[in-house]
Amino acid sequence: MADRRLIVIMGPSGCGKSTVARALSDALDVPMLEGDDYHPEKNLAKMASGVPLDDSDRIGWIESMLKSANYGNAPVMVVACSALTPFVQERLSNAPDFDVRFIHLNVPREELVKRMENREHFMPVSLLQSQLDTLSVPDSALTVDGLADVETITDAIISQLEH
């Protein structure tokens, strides 16, 4: 068993990863990493121009996030990270010293579009379908209703993590 826990809040753009990860990190009083902060400029430019990332684009991003996670000594860390593909999920799951738990925020496509249209972000709505097509939720993931309010989502996650 790993010494530390990495709680990955996952899902496509607009599902509420950052909001839920911040709330969970505050509730647990643990650090939080924002996955978007670890994308290299070339990834941001690629997505902003409407071109989806492939797994080869994600290698440096994942390594950078894990390096940052390993830098601190917190026993628990929350990460907001799309983690759409088995490739990314496996890389995160194989991080030494971490027990990784995926939390999938389930939100209908129509709501994702609405949310994405009403915010400032590098990810254009035109890439949403490619994310939904790529999304593979691990069997071990906890799936929660991303339409619920943040407090309800956070409470549900904490309740499941305690069992």
List the chain pLDDT tens, one digit each, 163 residues. 568 999 999 999 889 999 999 999 999 999 999 888 888 888 878 877 778 778 888 888 888 888 888 777 889 999 999 999 999 999 999 888 889 999 999 999 899 989 877 766 566 677 778 889 999 999 999 999 999 999 999 999 999 988 7
pLDDT for the residue 118: 76
Domain count, the chain: 1
| Eight-state DSSP code of residue 155 | H
Domain that holds residue 58: 4-161
List the Cα angle 85/129/112 in 5-degree steps: 100
Q: Is the overall model pTM greater than 0.95, yes or no? A: no
> What's the CATH number where 36 sits?
3.40.50.300
pLDDT for the residue 119: 67
Longest dimension (CA), the chain: 43
